[in-house]
Structure 1
Amino acid sequence: MPLIQRSVALMDSLTQNQKQAKKRNVAIFIHNGVEILDFAGPSEVFASTEGFNVYTVSLTKEPIISQGFIKITPTYSLADCPKPDILVLPGGQTGPFIENKPLIEWIKNTAAQAEVMLSVCTGAGLLAKAGLLDGKQATTFHSYIEPLQRATPKAEILANTRFVDNGQVITTAGVSAGIDGALHVVAKLKGQAVATQTARYMEYDKWKPEEGLIVKPSGKVAAENK
Structure 2
Amino acid sequence: MASNSLWAQQANAKEADSLTENSKQSKKRNVAILIHNGVEILDFAGPSEVFASTEGFNVYTVSLTKEPIISQGFIKITPSYSLTDCPKPDIVVLPGGDTGPFIKNKLLIDWIKQSATQAEVLLSVCTGAGLLAKAGLLDGKQATTFHSYIEPLQRATPKAEILANTRFVDNGQIITTAGVSAGIDGALHVVSKLKGLGIAQQTARYMEYDKWKPEEGLVVEHK
Q: Does TM, normalized by the shorter one, top 0.5? A: yes
Asked whether the equivalents of residues 34 and 93 of structure 2 are also in contact (C-alpha less than 8 Å), the reply is: yes
CA distance in 2, matches of 1:19, 1:44: 24
Equivalence for 2:47: 42
Cα drift, residue 209 of structure 1? 1.9
Structure 2 match to 1:99: 104
* Amino acid aligned to 1:63: P
CA positional deviation for 1:18: 3.6
CA pair 212-20 structure 1, distance change in 2 beyond 3 A? closer
- Matched ranges for 1:52-91 at <5 A: 52-91=57-96
Given that 2:26 and 2:56 are in contact with CA atoms closer than 8 Å, whether structure 1 keeps it comes out as: no
For the residues of structure 1 that align with 2:170 and 2:49, how far apart are their CA atoms? 20
Alpha-carbon distance between aligned partners in 1 of 2:101 and 2:26, rounded to the nearest angstrom: 36
Aligned identity (percent) is 88
For structure 1, the 5+ residue unaligned runs are 1-13, 219-226
Residues 95-131 of structure 1: per-residue CA shift (max 9 Å, x gap): 0000000100000000000000000000000000000
- Tell me which amino acid in the other structure corresponds to 1:73: T
**Whole-Å separation in 1 of the counterparts to 2:151 and 2:186:** 21
Report the alpha carbon displacement of residue 19 of structure 1 after superposing the two structures with TM: 7.4
* Aligned-pair CA distance for 1:210: 1.8
| CA distance in structure 1 between the aligned counterparts of 2:176 and 2:46, rounded to whole angstroms | 14
Residue 118 of structure 1 aligns to a residue whose secondary structure is strand
Q: Give 1 or 2 for the bigger CA radius of gyration.
A: 2
Paired with 1:99 and 1:209, the residues of 2 have a C-alpha distance of: 34
Number of residue-to-residue matches in the alignment: 204
Q: How far apart, CA to CA, are the structure 1 residues paired with 2:25 and 2:161?
A: 39
User: TM-score, normalized by length of structure 1?
Assistant: 0.88
The equivalent of 1:174 in structure 2 is: 179
SS in structure 2 at match of 1:210: helix
Letter in 2 for 1:195: A
The gaps in structure 2 that reach 5 residues or longer are 1-18
Q: Is the 8 A contact 2:122 2:175 kept in 1?
A: yes
Q: Which amino acid aligns with 1:123?
A: G
The whole-number CA distance in structure 1 between the counterparts of 2:25 and 2:86 is: 18
Q: Find 1:151's aligned residue among 140, 149, 156.
A: 156
Matches within 5 A, 1:1-226: 18=23, 22-218=27-223
> Partner of 1:7 in structure 2?
none
Q: Structure 2 length as normaliser, TM-score? A: 0.89
